[in-house]
Amino acid sequence: MNVHDPRPPGASGLSVRDLAVNYGPVTALRGISLDVPRGAVVTVLGGNGAGKSTLLRAVSGTLRFQRGGITSGEVTLDGVKLSGAATSAVVARGVVQVPEGRRVFARMTVEENLRAGALGARDRRSAAEARERVLELFPVLAERARQRAGLLSGGEQQMLAMGRAMMACPEVLLLDEPTLGLAPLMAARIAETVREINAQGTTVLLVEQNAAMALSLASHAYVLEVGEIALSGPAAELAASDEVRRRYLGVGGDAGDPPARPDGAAVRRPALSRWSA
C-alpha cells in the first residue's frame, strides 16, 4: 500500500453500515448493513416499495434529487466514507448507478448517449477504450449507433443504459432491476452481460425482483422487506431454502402475516413473484 493511500488496511469494497434513509417524514430504510466485497456480485432482493432503489440512491449520492436523505449510518468504499459526497465525487471514485426504468436520452442517438456516459472519463484514450469494450459487450449498440435511442426496443434501451454507465469505467456498478419488463430471452442476455462485466473485474451490486436470475449471478444475497433486511446469506443457500422460497419468493403456501412498515403503517407483504424466470 502506498503511504498516501488513505484506505485502512483490510477494508476492500463497498460497505453500508446501519443506514437509515428518509423522504421527508417517511422512513424508507432503517438499520441497513451490507457488504459488497471487491470483485463480487451481490444482490438485494425485495418487492415493490421495499427500498431497493432507495438503497442504490444512498450509495450513488442521488437521494437529494428525490428529496431524500441519509438520517444515520454511512456508506464506505474501501473503508473511506462515500456517503455525504456529491454524485460527481461518487462517480469519480468509480461507483456508477444504472437507474431503474432504463432511462436513456430518447432524442439523442445511441452514439451520443454513449458519449454522454464518457464525460467523466479521465482522458480521450480511456474514453475510446471504454467505447470499444462497451461495443464488445453490446454489439447491437454498434449496429444502431446512429439510431435515435427512443426507437430502440426495451431490451436494447437497457443495454444502452448499461453501456452508458460502463463508459465511465466503473469499479462498482449499481444496477437497478435491469431485467424488469423484459422477455425471458432478453432478460437472460442481460444476465449474461452482467456476468461478463463482473468477469472483467467490475464489482456489481444488483437490485432485482427477478430472484431466480439474481441468485444465479450473485455470491451473496440480502432480502429487503419494507425498509429492513429480513434475511441474508450466500446466494446458493437462499436459493435452496424452502423457507426462503415459501416466505420471500412467492413459491407455494401461506405467506404469513404482513410485516409492519418502519413508520408503523400496515402494508401487504411484498411477494417476489418472478421466482421462476
3-state secondary structure the chain: CCCCCCCCCCCCCEEEEEEEEEECCEEEEEEEEEEECCCCEEEEECCCCCCHHHHHHHHHCCHHHHCEEEEEEEEEECCEECCCCCHHHHHHCCEEEECCCCCCCCCCEHHHHHHHHHHHCCCHHHHHHHHHHHHHHCHHHHHCCCCEHHHCCHHHHHHHHHHHHHCCCCCEEEEECCCCCCCHHHHHHHHHHHHHHHHCCCEEEEEECCHHHHHHHCCEEEEEECCEEEEEEEHHHHHHCHHHHHHCCCCCCCCCCCCECCCCCECCCCCCCCCCC
Applying CB under 6 A, among 5, 11, 18, 26 the residue interacting with ligand ATP is 26
Site for ligand ATP in 209-228 (CB under 6 A): 209
Tell me which of 39, 49, 79, 233 binds ligand ATP, using CB under 6 A: 49
Smallest distance from ligand ATP to CB 159, Å? 20
**By the rule CB under 6 A, 66 interacts with ligand ATP:** yes
Minimum Å gap between C-beta 7 and ligand ATP is 30
Residue count at the site for Mg ion (CB under 5 A)?
A: 3
Q: Which one of 22, 27, 43, 53 is in contact with Mg ion (CB under 5 A)? A: 53
Q: Which does 23 bind (CB under 5 to 8 A by kind): Mg ion, ligand ATP, none?
A: ligand ATP
Q: Is 71 in the site for ligand ATP (CB under 6 A)?
A: no
Binding mask 13-52 for Mg ion (x = CB under 5 A): ---------------------------------------x
268 contacts ligand ATP (rule: CB under 6 A): no
Q: Which residues contact ligand ATP (rule: CB under 6 A)?
A: 23, 26, 28, 46, 48-54, 66-68, 100, 209
Q: Which residues contact Mg ion (rule: CB under 5 A)?
A: 52-53, 100
